[in-house]
Amino acid sequence: MAKTTKSTGSSAGTATIHDQKLTRGAGGELHQTAAGKTPVLTTAQGGPVSDDQNSLKIGPRGPTLLEDFHFREKIFHFDHERIPERVVHARGYAAHGYFENYKPLSKYTKADLFQRAGEKTPAFVRFSTVAGSKGSVDLARDVRGFAVKLYTQEGNWDIVGNNIPVFFIQDAIKFPDLIHAVKEEPDCAFPQAQSAHDNFWDFISLTPESMHMVMWVMSDRAIPRSFRFMEGFGVHTFRLVNSKNESTFVKFHWKPKLGLQSVVWNEAVKINGADPDFHRRDLWTAIKSGNFPEWELRLQLFDQKFADEFEFDVLDPTKIIPEELLPPVPVGRLVLDRMPDNFFSETEQVAFMTQNVPPGIDFSNDPLLQGRNFSYLDTQLKRLGSPNFTHIPINAPKCPFAHFQQDGHMAMRNPVGRANYQPNSFGEGARESTQRGFTPFADVEQGAKRRLRAESFADHYSQARQFFISQTMGEQAHVAAALTFELSKVKIPAIRERMVSHLLNVDETLAKKVADKLGLQKMPKPADAAVPPRQDLDPSPALSIVDNGPERFEGRKLGILVTDGCDAGLLKTLKSALDKASATYEIIAPKVAGVEASDGSWVEADQMIDGGPSVLYDAVALLPAKDAMEDLLQESCARDFVADAFTHCKFIGYVESALPLLAKSGVAAGDLDEGCIVIGSTKSARSFVDGLGKLRIWSREPRVKLA
């Protein structure tokens, strides 16, 4: 079970709470002074709090209770902290589409949308970052929200997930603390959309249950190349319930048709400078051009016997069920084919809530899910200003609906007739239906009413280690580099040391590498572990992005650098090959108007070199004419275009006349590898495009020292 710990501050100084004076040392530690003792945490009404780490439950694995006034107050206040943007997931982008069911799933669920093969259900999907404000950048290192609203014939179903299948905390009562810690520090209001600061790592280093999530967030999963190239997860364990009231546990996975892809950190930083709307623009452009993004919904289905025998608790949101152990079953596809008509009315006003489920979908006792079910209604009331937020078209169900809710701010409709209550003797209005209505699975709960953390939740390191050893060598180096960078921004040495002590329980080599890069004078002892970390968990290949990347260039973009006199035939061949590969391209030229090709034709440019750096493309082709090289070599942005592409391990196609530019950019003849390909003929141009599916030449990475 996680230990209860006292938080420490982020700077030296004093703080006065009522009549009790506290002094913070240089290391952030909290000292009791003569003015009084360390204060007792209270509610806003002044009531002392006995446990701020766990919500009130029936038994250690039971449901969260409505009477938990401390949790209710804490979440209530947190949900109302922002005016008018979302407290979390403020920066989002969304699209319309549909979900198409492959085959009936009546064996598992009575949910209407799963009863008929080929059934298409309207969908609205919002992607987002978590920590930043609406005006932050797209490529922040962060979790990505992946929220799906399905307008089923039995009401709206919201699968409100992320691109990472686990979370930082096990109990929703800690969510305000987590977000307070990761947001900009309250005294200085920075850093924006970054976790690289004292408050976040102070909280994390005192919260061992976060270690699995930390591995994911410090991996390349937190800097995806595009919304179109990332997975989505429902995070929690849910239930499917069939018409016989039989329950099957389920975890939801969205798998991108185009495969997984991320960027590297150096690239992300430069993308944010070149185009802070990179992810938004990518989704907009793909859909507007008819390249509709698609994901496959896959379900991990299991029964109570599997749950009882699984080595971790399926109710623990900091754990996964490895796909090799329980392969996800494909059940349908999600296609996004239309952008909103207006960003504010749809993307900004859409309201997702985990408690929105149709009959046949039900909840588990996951304490994080239980708290989310309780919290989200508060959030919508504050953000959208009225209990009538369901009257907004994007939130309204597309099936028939009837209820007696009336009036309130911005009411667009009210019950019609005399009776606005139930029961009534006038025969007016709707009636409940025991046959069609939502009926929760009749699970039996027992146990004392207490604030507890289940002992089965106590292993905080084993799956963190499993994730790390499942990465390729290069991906492991990226995790180490990310941890080093983030912790280098932490000013308090004690916090850095605490984090390294946790890393020793994950992987000793990782811990030593981070400690060395941070310049720790001596290695700390491994952090106390409630359960000894396991060393016997097998790697899960499904957890690696590189091992699950695409084998084709479909959906990607080639940046083609041209000058006056560029070979018109090669350019035409490249364009044709890219069209055949269902890929796109942009023309980058010294002037945005374009260039005159070798055959006298005019080639319009999409970007001038200054505004089209290579970080915006998945691969590049260099087609300068020999006569234009003298001027091009003087362009620093042209040299950066080539140097960055090489450093970021991208494929580079080039004509012989581009060799001086490669050399001037720091890529000597001896540096040219299998990812640097001469395209001197139409045949080699087609071959170049055919070979772009691997996206990166990771064998180059040790030489360019990305991490």
Q: Is residue 655 in some structural domain?
A: yes
Q: Beta strand pairing status for 676-678 and 652-654?
A: parallel
Q: What angle do CA 44, 47, 52 make, to 5 degrees?
A: 80
Q: What is the pLDDT of residue 46?
A: 83
556/542 same-domain check? no
Q: Percentage of residues in the chain with pLDDT exceeding 70?
A: 95
Name every residue whose Cβ is closer than 8 Å to that of residue 520 and which is 6 or more positions away in sequence: 496, 497, 500
Residue 36: pLDDT band (50, 70, 90) is low
Find the CATH number of the domain harbouring 146. Answer: 2.40.180.10
Identify the domain boundary among 488, 511, 546: 546
- 227/377 Cα distance (integer angstroms): 27
Task: Band the pLDDT of 21: cuts 50, 70, 90.
Answer: very low
Per-residue pLDDT of 267-301, as tens digits, reads 999 999 999 999 999 999 999 999 999 999 999 99
Q: Give me the mean pLDDT over the 662-677 stretch.
A: 96
Q: Is 439 contained in some domain?
A: no
Q: 502 lies in which domain range? A: 458-546
- Asked if 572 and 478 sit in the same domain, the reply is no
* CATH number of the domain enclosing 469: 1.20.1370.20
Cα separation, 480 vs 267, in Å, equals 17
Does the annotation mark 266 as catalytic?
no
611 found inside a domain: yes
The pLDDT of residue 42 is: 87
Per-residue pLDDT band for 588 (boundaries 50, 70, 90) equals very high
Same domain, 497 and 560: no
Residue 14: which pLDDT band, with cuts at 50, 70 and 90? very low
Residue 12 lies in a domain: no
Give mean pLDDT, residues 352-357.
95
pLDDT at 32: 45
Is residue 136 in a domain?
yes
Residue 43 has pLDDT above 90, yes or no: no
d(CA 221, CA 236): 19
Using CA atoms, how far apart are residues 339 and 524, in angstroms rounded to an integer?
A: 52
What would the pLDDT profile of 536-587 be if each residue is shown by its tens digit? 999 999 999 999 989 999 999 999 999 999 999 999 999 999 999 999 999 9
Domain termination residue (choose one: 517, 546, 575): 546
Clarify whether residues 500 and 639 are in a common domain.
no
* pLDDT value at residue 8: 33
Confidence of residue 45 (pLDDT cuts 50, 70, 90): confident
Beta strand residue intervals within 138-192, DSSP E: 144-152, 155-162
Could you tell me the CATH number of the domain that includes residue 683?
3.40.50.880
3-state secondary structure of 608: strand
Please write the tens of the pLDDT for every residue from 461-483: 999 999 999 999 999 999 999 99
Q: Are residues 477 and 564 in the same domain?
A: no
Residue 215 to residue 164: CA distance in whole angstroms: 11
Distance CA 545, CA 510 (A): 19
Taking the C-alpha atoms of residue 176 and residue 174, their distance in angstroms, rounded to an integer, is 6
pLDDT digits (tens, 9 = 90+) for 385-403: 989 999 999 999 999 888 8
Residue 330 lies in a domain: yes
570 and 520 co-located in one domain:
no
To the query of whether residue 180 is one of the catalytic residues in this protein, the response is: no
What type of residue sits at position 249?
A: F
d(CA 109, CA 297): 15
pLDDT in tens, 301-315: 999 999 999 999 999
Q: Is residue 360 part of a domain?
A: yes
Q: How confident is the model at residue 84 (pLDDT cuts 50, 70, 90)?
A: confident
Q: Is 494 in the same domain as 557? A: no
Q: Does residue 563 sit in the same domain as residue 532?
A: no
In terms of domains, do 475 and 610 share one?
Answer: no
| One-character DSSP codes across 93-134 | EEEEEEEEE-S--TTT---GGGSSTT-EEEEEEEEEESSS-T
Give residue 669's pLDDT.
93
Task: Specify whether 230 is located in the same domain as 379.
Answer: yes
pLDDT of residue 29: 42
Residues 54, 156, 162, 272: which is the catalytic one?
Answer: 162
User: How far are the Cα atoms of 121, 223, 254, 396, 645 from residue 128, in angstroms, in the given order?
Assistant: 23, 12, 16, 22, 27
Are 154 and 295 within one domain? Answer: yes
174-195 pLDDT, tens digit per residue, is 999 999 999 999 999 999 999 9
Does residue 26 lie within any of the structural domains?
A: no
**How many domains, in total, are found in the chain?**
3
This prediction has a pTM of: 0.91
Sign of CA dihedral 83, 89, 90, 94: negative
Mark which of 524, 546, 568 sits at the end of a domain.
546
- pLDDT computed for residue 154 by the predictor: 94
- Tell me, yes or no, whether 316 and 376 share the same domain: yes
